[in-house]
Amino acid sequence: MKLIISFIFILTTKNISAQLFIEHNELLPLKLQYTNKQLKKETDKHNTVYTDLIYKNNNTWDTLPVYLNARGNFRRSTCYFPPLKMTLKKSLTNNTLFKGHKKLKVVLPCLLQKRGNDDVLKEYLAYKIYELIAETHFKTRLAAIEYIDTRGDKAEIHPLATFVPTELKNTALYEGEEAFALKKPKKYILKAIIIEDDKLVAKREGAQLLKRFVHPLNQAETESLNNAFFQFMIGNTDFSTAYQHNQKLIFKEGETIPVPYDFDMSGLVNASYAVVSNIQNTSLNITDVKERMYRGFKRDTAIYYKTRQHFLEQRAAIYSMMDEHKEYFEDPETFDQAKNYIQSFYTILDNETKFKTLIIDAARNE
C-alpha cells in the first residue's frame, strides 16, 4: 500500500510541475497591468518592473508576483508591445499552475493592428508543428491576456487647456495641476504565447545548454535536417544554428542539437513588418518572406529522403492540430491562408522534381 501511495504522490507531483504546458487547446486566461512605455524604455536584463500576474485555473482566479522586462532586439525596437521575459520566485509557485518555473518568455502581438492576434496564433502554430516534428523543442501555451496599460503617473495637458491663450498659460493661474489630467489606463485583449525557459528544455532532455559556436555539419544529423526542413516548411530564413540566431543549442549524449524559436519573420506568419533576413550580412536571393529558400547544409542524400518520409508521416497530425485551433482566429481567411501555406510545402514534398530542386540541390556548401 505504501508503494502505491508513493507512486501516486510522485506521479501527481510530476503532473503539477508540468501543468502549465499540459496538452490541451484551451487558452489560458491572464491579466496583467504595467506601463508599456516604461517597460520598453527602462527595462533590460538588470532592470525590471514589478506587477501581479493574475491567472485563471479551474474557474478560480489566483495571483502571483512577477517581474517583467522587455526582450529581443528587432521586436523590442519595432513593436508597440515588446515581447516579455517574466521572472517568478520559484518558492511562491509551489502548488500553482506555474510550479517549477522561474523564467518564462511571453510573445505578444507586435503592432496595434487588427491582424495582430492572428499573427500570434500563426506563430504559435509554428511552435506546435515543430513539437510534432522533433522530440527536442520548446513547450508553449496559448494565452488570452487582458492587459491594462496604466500609462504611468505622468500627467498630460488637459484638452480644455489647449484653448487657453498662450499669454494666460504663462501666468500663475495655470501653473498648478488644474490644467492637467492624468492619463487614463487603456485596456487591450491580446493573444499571447508563453514559452518555457531554455534551461528547462535542457533539464527535461538531460542535456546542457551550449553557448559556443558549433558548425551545423557538426550538429546531430537527424535533428539538423528536421530543423532545416521545418524552417523551409514555414518559409523562415531568419535563423542561424551556427551563430545561435533564433536557435538554442543543447548538448545531449555526445551530440549537439538545435532548438528553434521566434518565427515572426516566416512566410507562415507573414507579419506586416517582416523582411527577408540578412544574417551576418549575407544577402539572400529572395525578396518576399513568403518565398521559400532552403538553408540547410549538404548531407548524404539518403538522410534527405528519410527526413522527407518523416514529414510526410506527420502531415495528417499537423493538419489536424491546425484545424483544432481554427476557432481562435478572428479572421477565418487568415487561418485558411496559413493552412494553404503549409499545404504548399507538402506539394513540394509530393513532387520528386520539386523536392530534389528546391531542397536537395539547394542545400548549402558553406
Same domain, 61 and 165: no
Q: What is the pLDDT of residue 200?
A: 95
232 lies in some domain: yes
- From residue 143, alpha-carbon distances to 31, 55, 194, 305 in Å are 10, 10, 7, 37
Say yes or no: 141 and 232 in one domain: no
Residues 357 and 232 placed together within one structural domain of the fold: yes
Q: Are 92 and 214 in the same domain? A: no
Question: To the nearest 10°, the Cα dihedral for 255, 261, 263, 264?
Answer: -150
Q: How many helices (H) and strands (E) does the chain have?
A: 11, 12
Q: How many structural domains does the chain have?
A: 3
Structural domain includes residue 9? no
Map grid coordinates 506555474 to a residue: 98
Same-domain pairing of 236 and 310: yes
For residue 161, what pLDDT is reported?
Answer: 44
| Same domain membership, residue 333 and residue 319 | yes
Closest-CA residue to 138 (of 109, 111, 103, 108): 103
Gap between the Cα atoms of 327 and 25, Å rounded: 10
Residue range 293-345, pLDDT digits in tens: 999 999 999 999 999 999 999 999 999 999 999 999 999 999 999 999 999 99
Residues 166 and 196 in one domain: no
Q: pLDDT by residue (tens digit) across 276-292?
A: 988 877 889 999 999 99
Reported as half-sphere exposure (CB side, CA atoms, 13 A), residue 307 has a value of 24
Same structural domain, 164 and 200: no
> Phi-psi region for residue 39, left (φ > 0), alpha (ψ -120 to 50) or beta?
alpha
Residues 191/142, Cβ–Cβ less than 8 Å: yes
Mean pLDDT of 237-249: 95
Binned at pLDDT 50, 70 and 90, residue 108 comes out as very high
Are 306 and 324 in a shared domain?
yes
Q: What's the whole-model pTM score?
A: 0.88
pLDDT, residue 165, reads 55
Cα separation, 226 vs 220, in Å, equals: 10
Instruction: Answer yes or no: do 248 and 342 share one domain.
Output: yes
Mark whether 40 and 174 lie in a shared domain.
no
Same domain? 217 vs 350:
yes
| Burial group, residue 110, by CB count within 10 angstroms (0-12, 13-18, 19+) | buried
In contact, 289 and 270? CB cutoff 8 Å: yes
- C-alpha cell read off for 140: 508553449
Domain membership flag for residue 128 = no
- Name the packing angle between helices 315-324 and 116-133 (round to 10°): 150
Residue 261 lies in a domain: yes
- Residue range 45-59: mean pLDDT, rounded: 92
Query: In this model, does residue 18 exceed pLDDT 70?
Result: no
Per-residue pLDDT band for 347 (boundaries 50, 70, 90) equals very high
Strands (E), 165-291: 180-182, 186-196, 208-210, 247-252, 255-260
Q: What domain range includes position 177?
A: 157-184
